[in-house]
Structure 1
């Protein structure tokens, strides 16, 4: 466990108390709303897992030295330790020899949000929180509900009418009170009222423009970087590609790489890529803006979990610092890559996960990513979180009668049985 000094503004470095988690930086607010990150007393006693005497915990807690909660005090469901798959078939499609997918679909609630919820709820319990609250289209709310249940803390999730049914069911199964509101923005109004008036503990953004999620929760994403480097044999990827809504995992991974660089475990940082739906971060980069602008919602995205029309300062900052890229993805390409990952790699993932591969394809075709670059794409969640999106593209299932001759002729016509 690392000792927390306070919460620090990303933009101006102002330091605030450790309980300032429900706000942004008031100094920067008139210019650019900036998220806060956890600042630790230095130096952090960071021990490499294969070093003599290092504790070899599993999952997220393998790197417990850099987290704000001890493993003994954690609210844990066995999160982290996700596999890094060599996507050879997808790599062949793109001419890339070292394309990998960090597959988070095996986490307790089937998404990478478990890393955030574990940290956020663990700190909430330490601080004596009476109610956990989240605004979510699915993954974040499901994770908050599960970890709140484990902690024995009531949970309320504000969502909206078109949130994926399986994820709402998952939230309610874990005991959360789920409230659906007419518009996405309404979630924040109700949630902010609960945070300000009743002292509820937020795990997700709850005011606009969003600056990012709970700063303690974001610390859980640092372990993605640690695991990736270890799984690559202590090599740093050249590129890390993430589907981005508010950029929580983007900055979390960047902080993890930075800690390893400071400790001498690695000798360089990767380039970070934001795969986004409406192009807010890319617009800021192209026009040298200090903050991502709100973009027009010109279509309904299939990637609901990254469907924000406005990016965050934290996401823009990391893309710029890393000399990375922001790539705008389309529904057509996203669904094409969801199908390719399932049919070529055997991995059925949510559309947002496939969006990362759309960005890889774009950069590979443009010659930005080279054929022998080490590329890691974050595969955020299982496709079973929102199967209706996939089912809508598949058409009807072939139905045949019990009569064998008739069924055989139908199966031959469909190309399922070989024609002799």
Structure 2
């Protein structure tokens, strides 16, 4: 029997919310908060799994019915030790949960699989998402798998790889000039035409589809299975806090089921620091920090959300800004050249913030730390390529080759460039 009760609960008021009302967050203190799917864990005997594909092997702890699911065999991603990088940065027990191994090469597949499944099981025929990349590509792929229409509202500045993915998966992709224009148009389509929102569409931002957010719980379940216990800390790139909220609930499930001994400290890695500010000053929905352009464009928000802040607060977590584009790109190159992991710039923020976290005492040298590698660096090749040396063209002689090898050795990445 599934633990899902078929309704949601408001996380602040405790009020019951029907599934049909789940997609519009409620206004709280000048901001917005989504209700969360409700479960009765006493129905389960431990972390029960099924023979369903992908992350739906955990379907008894996901907000879906017994009807068929929409899956591309997502989840089950590897946990990769990065000992060399960990030793250099002072965290010997360092791992990357490599979510780039998902079907559309990003952790957003977990959200999309659950959110699209919920939409299909409810009989909906159109999903809509506001996205500059991974989120839109993932939703487009799962909508294609389900045979329903997907509309992506994006910006003209999005990297070509991202729009190519969205359109290749069959999404109707439309760009607007201003980011907030997407939300206004999206809300009208949700209200007037019954389209199912796969992302947030209110300001200040609140997060995404609450059913999809619970797809991230499965990362916590997998980490426990891979380590034999939960880690001491999990560092993840953060924008609107969907993954943070899902991770916190997943680890809390494990503790409630008597499987794990504790909930790890969750840590937000970010370009500009809104979560760091919220933890220091207290959460305020309309509070923002100074922000500009960033290579970590998919998490480049000046706002924190209540759900992200709450997950950090209740897990005793922390947040840190990555220190600028140079530090982020140095971290990306370090992971690729020293560990064989080519992750997107947003993922590399988790490496870039490690020195700050250690200096502040938010992490300790003997901690077992997991970094969430959210997506592949292939989603934005031009940004990485612009920071790499040109490939030398040489005469086919040993002497010319030796000179090129000597020049290349001087450019090997080191940990000194990080943060």
What CA distance in whole angstroms lies between the structure 1 residues aligned with 2:355 and 2:45? 36
Contact 1:284–1:291 (Cα < 8 Å) also in 2: no
Contact 2:47–2:257 (Cα < 8 Å) also in 1: no
TM-score using structure 1 length: 0.92
Cα gap change, 1:248/1:57 in structure 2, threshold over 3 Å: closer, same or farther? same
What CA distance in whole angstroms lies between the structure 2 residues aligned with 1:46 and 1:107? 29
Contact 1:411–1:417 (Cα < 8 Å) also in 2: no
What CA distance in whole angstroms lies between the structure 1 residues aligned with 2:200 and 2:45? 30
The offset of 1:47, in angstroms, is 3.5
The offset of 1:76, in angstroms, is 0.3
What SS class does the counterpart of residue 21 from structure 2 fall into?
Answer: coil
What CA distance in whole angstroms lies between the structure 1 residues aligned with 2:357 and 2:126? 43
Q: CA offsets, 1:99-142, max 9 Å, x none?
A: 11110001000000000000000000011112110000100000
What CA distance in whole angstroms lies between the structure 1 residues aligned with 2:67 and 2:355? 43
Unaligned runs of 5+ in 1: none
| Count of matched residue positions in the alignment of Structure 1 and Structure 2 | 406
What CA distance in whole angstroms lies between the structure 1 residues aligned with 2:129 and 2:42? 33
Range with greater deviation from structure 2 (224-233 or 286-295): 286-295
Matched, 1:354 2:345: no
Contact 1:2–1:65 (Cα < 8 Å) also in 2: yes
Matched, 1:404 2:403: no
Choose the corresponding residue for 1:266, options 260, 277, 298: 260
Choose the corresponding residue for 2:336, options 329, 334, 342: 342
Matched, 1:384 2:359: no
Range with greater deviation from structure 2 (38-47 or 159-168): 38-47
Matched, 1:18 2:8: no
Aligned to 2:415: none
Cα gap change, 1:375/1:193 in structure 2, threshold over 3 Å: closer, same or farther? same
What SS class does the counterpart of residue 101 from structure 1 fall into?
Answer: strand
What CA distance in whole angstroms lies between the structure 2 residues aligned with 1:395 and 1:344? 17
Contact 2:31–2:286 (Cα < 8 Å) also in 1: no
Aligned to 1:7: 8
Aligned to 2:416: none
Range with greater deviation from structure 2 (62-71 or 11-20): 62-71
The offset of 1:378, in angstroms, is 0.5
Choose the corresponding residue for 1:168, options 147, 163, 175: 163
Aligned to 1:37: 36
TM-score using structure 2 length: 0.92
The offset of 1:57, in angstroms, is 5.3
Matched, 1:91 2:86: yes
The offset of 1:48, in angstroms, is 3.3
What CA distance in whole angstroms lies between the structure 2 residues aligned with 1:292 and 1:274? 19
Q: Counterparts of 1:276-291 in structure 2 under 5 Å?
A: 276-291=270-285
The offset of 1:159, in angstroms, is 0.6
Contact 2:129–2:198 (Cα < 8 Å) also in 1: yes
Matched, 1:210 2:205: yes
Cα gap change, 1:57/1:361 in structure 2, threshold over 3 Å: closer, same or farther? farther
Q: Counterparts of 1:405-420 in structure 2 under 5 Å?
A: 405=397, 408-415=398-405
The offset of 1:84, in angstroms, is 0.6
